[in-house]
Structure 1
Amino acid sequence: METRNEELKTASIELYQYMCNALVGSEKIVRYRRLFFKLFDETWNTQRGFELISSGSKSEGLDLHGSDFDLMTLQKLFKVYENIDSSGFCITIDTNNAQPGFALLKVPENIGKCCPVLFPKTDNGYLLSSRKMRDLLTVKSRLYNGAFSIHGPSVCHNEVDLDRVYCLQCNTWPFAAKDWLLRNKSIEWPPQEVMENITEQGVLLVPVGSKSSSNEVNDLEWRMSFSLSEKVLIHSFNYVQLMCYALLKIYLKEIVNSKKTLSKLLCSYYMKTLLFWILEETDGSKWTPENLIHCFLACVKRLCYWITINYIPNYFIPTHNMIDGKLSNEARNEMIRMLNGVLSDNGWENIFYANSLDGFRARLSFNQVNCYNSFDKAIFPLYMTLEMKYFDFEHKYKHVIHRIVSNLPKTVKNICALQFLCFNYFSLSNVKFCNGDLKCRRSKHGHNKCTYITYRLILAKLIINTYSDAASGWLLLAAFFYNHREHFKMFPLLDLVTAQLSIDRLYLSLYLKTNFIHTLSRKRLSAKCSFLKRLRQEVMKDVPYSIDTKNSFLAHKNLGVSEVNEFLSCYPAVILHYFSFLAHYELGNIHQADRHMRMLQNTVQNTESGNPHLSVNANTYLMRALSFSNDLAGFQLTSKRVLQMMKNSDEYKTFLKDVLTVNDSLAPLARMIQNLDR
């Protein structure tokens, strides 16, 4: 037994050090991540009507492989209360007639009569229907051409890890959770000041009801969500507790979910709940680096017990069994066998077979991950969080600029500089070319002046955009010159991108789950260099993520515009060779155009094992180049390959199924792919 304890201590210390250096990051990195999302929320929440609350693993400080980013959109128009007279324009909570952990939302009779579809009349009065609210969200998601779907209370992005949850808030602590404040706790966790902070948060209500024995969702119930409270609790963790939380999430996602029969039966929220209960019942002095694996095993043991009795109690409302009716007897027995295996003599070593711990098994040198400073390691991977096309950030310009020029810490200013670059990038979609409207039709001089002003405005924004990363900014500027038939201006920019692509960098993508590209072949920029300079030299992104091309600087049909007026995002190397081909082709440099055609073909072939979306886009660029060259055989071969990739991709099958009903312009493409099955 003593030998096993020594092994656990040694392995725990080594694992803790590895996670600090290579997986989770240092305490300083975690603080920077949390600061990023705190500023993200504060930037958004400067307007009335709703409030944006970032949640999920990333906002908690973890940026593991596959970590999610959730947005709680709090509607502030509805006021929700408990135990007050509902004669005014407000909503009251009724938990007596709902399942534990859920509530009915009652509205005054005069309000309910105005919209009986949304507020059906029941024996308990007029209720706000969670199903009708979800139906409204489903209709809204169709505006994005099938890019979103509904899962539970969430509007989920089908291409990136983003769930958006619309919710209401009751600002008082619910009576159903009062026992959490009163129950005896074996130690002083959570601290008193944390509990006071939590009770001030109240509770959120999200539009999904409980499931009955027939597995049907109650259409009228709303689930109580303690997301705000849980974020406060996690931010109160010491660092070993946070590491244990990360280890539980890795074990679930990469070990348990790797078995098809057990995949997605448990969710990461259960791991969070599990750790809350364990922390409440154990001595805080036990949470030290040498006890990391021991603490992890204590959590697994509790989970095994819960699965055995088929009951996972909600941390705030224990009468709410979160797995009621979700596990079959076969799945529960298999889960118990797996968990008992971990608890056996050497079973704890199974966690090391998680893909995230490949480096730990190989005992890789930590020097490779230390080539970036802490701030860059924390913030660079979060950059893409800001690049969601439906975030209307433009009206936040003044707020962000004010912070940049104010006397604030440099870390805050640098994060705000990132926000400014994203605002500038998406504002490019809103700057339209002069199309001869009434104001400038009166005279040729007026039209020319309008065109010149627009040209200078877009050029200025594109030059600012070159600070966003090492390649995509220059490529978008080259696209601008192509659209104005200034082909010779493209070549210096394309040469610059060629040089940038020759050096390894951190590659960020909304479609690829990538980590840092570490290299010891070159010296990183000093932390004394400005943050924007480091960003420009060290980061590379897809080109671009999303820009509306209708009447914009990317409006030219040869630049890669899709049927829905969006630029086809792709790897920088693919865009580079495609633009190089276009420039030489337009100038009649046939030899150079053929050379870049061959380079484009080789580059596209190397992308076909990657993300299906980016691979299809890469082949689409190749098809366009082949059509210019009148290579009919190559065009047909590439077209067939593209259709086959679409057919084999589950993402495209779902997308095209939605397209048939909401987008007539893409319906022929959908039918063509469906014909491949015949």
Structure 2
Amino acid sequence: MNAVRDNMQNFKNVTIITSGSFGEGLEMRGSDFDIMIVLKQFDVCEELKSHYHPNKIQLLIERDDVKPCYTLLRLVYSRSSEVMRACDEHNGKQYLSSALHKQGLVNDELGTIHGPCFSNKKETIDLASCLHCKTWISPAIQWVSRSSNSWPSHEVKQSIVDHGVLFVPIGAKGSQKENLEWRVSFSVGEKFLINTFTHTQLLCYALLKIVLKDVLAIHSECKDLLCSYFLKTIMFWISEELPLSIWKPNNLIPCFMRCYKRLIYCVEHSVCLHYFIPENNLFENKIEGRSREILLEKLSTLHSYGWQCVLFSDQISNFHVSMWNFQLEPHILYVDDVNQVLNSKLTNWNNARFKTQFVQKTFENGLCQTLRCQQPSIKDVYKYFISMCSSGLAQRISLESTLNNNKNLYKQYKFCLSTLLQNVYHDAVSGWLMVASIFYKTKQYSKALYIIRYSISKCTPEKLCYIRLYQITNC
């Protein structure tokens, strides 16, 4: 977490605002230092004023024939020749050009333009020149009264509205007036919203960003399709829809998976509505065609791992093993009872690997009886020997040509993988190592390494101690 750079500084002619991960209080690996510089000499408004400040540059918002979230800024009054050079004529009127505005600010230190920003040579700093409208714009009026839930609160909404909006120099891609258009930015309002997040909300947002940057973005086909702003937008929508009572630490995994499923839904339907102006679909002309199919396939594959998909990031999977070494009291009193159940006739049928149809049928009947039981401890035993069964079943499957394009072999591989994933419940360490082995055999070496690291993290001292106690009780 980073709160030091989450600030706003006022000077005579400019206001400097940190944005991006730093401005939101998240210092993520690989994040740029994003700065927004608001030029105070510009006065942007929706309606013409009867009087103008002689030292201000007056601009009027016009939205005719532009996409939602974009606008034209017509020059109404200016005494600056420099501003006049940054204007371009359209239908007999002068408009401040976003393209000319950026070109006039390029210098040796910040010489690279990408989107609305300038970058330094090392690409560690992104700077955006912004204009400020002190009033809340009409396309976003519906946001003020849209939500009936407790988030965001009325006080937070009022603070956001009181601040107004910003405009950054970038037009809608493909628009005939792209060089003239400016994009509406709610960056400051978004910082207000992020600052209201509970710790669980912030963790969900951070985990989504980690999956994006460390797992999805390493694939060239997916690298430029998604960005952090899309994830933030999804977080805002879900936060508005759910009651605050949901965002509790003990609900972290369900909350994260809900957010991840929403991301999959958005990609599947190529729709991600802007939080403040829903008429603007952020995925329009971006997430479509073959690229969308590839991204959806990657997201769905990761989803099959559940919350453990975050472990494919080395930021998480490389935590030192000692982080997992919690000192727990071994449950000595239960060892004999568990041992008696697991060595029962029912479990021995499982170890027989279903050699006869009679044994298999009897085993299935035993499982049905177990499922009817309401005691959690018995259900845990059920999970245990189902996991053991899966271990034996998976080891009998031949995978000589798994990477062959043959459809049957692919189904065989998927069946083996799903079976091995069920195998992790009775022996976490060896179970995960078997999963790693199938990835190694199919030449998916990076996945194998990730899972090996995770399995090592599961091999903690208290579990080894438990085994010794178990052995002592059976001497």
Could you say whether these structures have the same fold, taking a TM-score greater than 0.5 normalized by the shorter chain as the test?
yes
Shift in Å, 1:99: 1.1
Q: 1:118 to 1:36 in 2, by over 3 A?
A: closer
Question: Map of 1:110-259 to 2, 5 A cutoff?
Answer: 117-123=85-91, 125-138=93-106, 140=107, 143-144=108-109, 148-185=111-148, 187-212=149-174, 218-259=178-219
Shift in Å, 1:198: 0.6
1:104 aligned partner: 72
2:263 aligned partner: 303
**Gap regions ≥5 residues in structure 1:** 1-29, 368-678
- The superposition leaves residues 594-626 of structure 1 with CA deviations (integer Å, 9 ceiling, x where unpaired) of xxxxxxxxxxxxxxxxxxxxxxxxxxxxxxxxx
Tell me, what secondary structure is at the counterpart of 1:150?
strand
- The superposition leaves residues 144-198 of structure 1 with CA deviations (integer Å, 9 ceiling, x where unpaired) of 3xx631001100123152100000000101111111112243x211011110111
Aligned partner of 1:71 among 35, 41, 51: 35
Shift in Å, 1:106: 1.0
2:233 aligned partner: 273
Shift in Å, 1:118: 1.9
CA contact (8 A) 2:5 2:18 kept: no
1:364 aligned partner: 322
Aligned amino acid, residue 365 of structure 1: M
- The superposition leaves residues 119-162 of structure 1 with CA deviations (integer Å, 9 ceiling, x where unpaired) of 22222722111010111123x2xx23xx6310011001231521
Question: Map of 1:496-535 to 2, 5 A cutoff?
Answer: none
**What CA distance in whole angstroms lies between the structure 2 residues aligned with 1:328 and 1:232?**
32
Tell me, what secondary structure is at the counterpart of 2:151?
coil
Shift in Å, 1:109: 6.6
Tell me, what secondary structure is at the counterpart of 2:221?
coil
Q: Identity, % of aligned pairs? A: 36
Q: 1:221 to 1:124 in 2, by over 3 A?
A: farther
CA contact (8 A) 2:303 2:309 kept: no
Aligned amino acid, residue 163 of structure 1: D
Q: 1:160 to 1:129 in 2, by over 3 A?
A: closer
2:250 is equivalent to residue 290 of structure 1: yes
2:16 aligned partner: 52
**What CA distance in whole angstroms lies between the structure 2 residues aligned with 1:158 and 1:358?**
32
Shift in Å, 1:48: 0.8
Deviating above 3 A after TM superposition, structure 1's stretches of 4 or more consecutive aligned residues are: 85-89, 109-117
Shift in Å, 1:304: 1.4
CA contact (8 A) 1:87 1:108 kept: no
CA contact (8 A) 1:276 1:315 kept: yes
2:3 aligned partner: 34
Shift in Å, 1:68: 2.6
**What CA distance in whole angstroms lies between the structure 1 residues aligned with 2:83 and 2:5?**
41
**What CA distance in whole angstroms lies between the structure 1 residues aligned with 2:257 and 2:88?**
49
**What CA distance in whole angstroms lies between the structure 1 residues aligned with 2:279 and 2:265?**
17
Aligned amino acid, residue 223 of structure 2: S
Query: May I ask how many residue pairs the two structures share in their alignment?
Result: 321
Tell me, what secondary structure is at the counterpart of 1:107?
strand
Shift in Å, 1:366: 7.7
Tell me, what secondary structure is at the counterpart of 2:173?
coil
Question: Map of 1:425-440 to 2, 5 A cutoff?
Answer: none
Larger radius of gyration: 2
Shift in Å, 1:355: 1.5
**What CA distance in whole angstroms lies between the structure 2 residues aligned with 1:69 and 1:115?**
28
**What CA distance in whole angstroms lies between the structure 2 residues aligned with 1:356 and 1:278?**
26
Tell me, what secondary structure is at the counterpart of 2:105?
helix
CA contact (8 A) 2:234 2:259 kept: yes
Aligned amino acid, residue 254 of structure 1: D
Aligned amino acid, residue 54 of structure 1: T
Tell me, what secondary structure is at the counterpart of 2:156?
helix
Shift in Å, 1:290: 2.2
**Gap regions ≥5 residues in structure 2:** 326-475
CA contact (8 A) 2:86 2:104 kept: no
- The superposition leaves residues 601-660 of structure 1 with CA deviations (integer Å, 9 ceiling, x where unpaired) of xxxxxxxxxxxxxxxxxxxxxxxxxxxxxxxxxxxxxxxxxxxxxxxxxxxxxxxxxxxx
CA contact (8 A) 2:170 2:179 kept: yes
CA contact (8 A) 2:44 2:61 kept: yes
Q: 1:225 to 1:68 in 2, by over 3 A?
A: same
Aligned partner of 2:291 among 331, 336, 350: 331
Aligned amino acid, residue 235 of structure 2: L
Shift in Å, 1:217: 7.0
Larger strand proportion of the pair: 2
**What CA distance in whole angstroms lies between the structure 2 residues aligned with 1:351 and 1:365?**
17
Shift in Å, 1:347: 3.8
**What CA distance in whole angstroms lies between the structure 1 residues aligned with 2:283 and 2:71?**
18
**What CA distance in whole angstroms lies between the structure 2 residues aligned with 1:335 and 1:75?**
39
Bigger relative contact order (CA 8 A; separation at least 6): 1
Aligned partner of 2:44 among 72, 80, 100: 80
Question: TM-score if structure 1 supplies the norm length?
Answer: 0.45
Question: Map of 1:20-31 to 2, 5 A cutoff?
Answer: 30=1
**What CA distance in whole angstroms lies between the structure 2 residues aligned with 1:352 and 1:124?**
58
**What CA distance in whole angstroms lies between the structure 2 residues aligned with 1:221 and 1:287?**
39
**What CA distance in whole angstroms lies between the structure 2 residues aligned with 1:332 and 1:347?**
21
**What CA distance in whole angstroms lies between the structure 2 residues aligned with 1:164 and 1:310?**
30
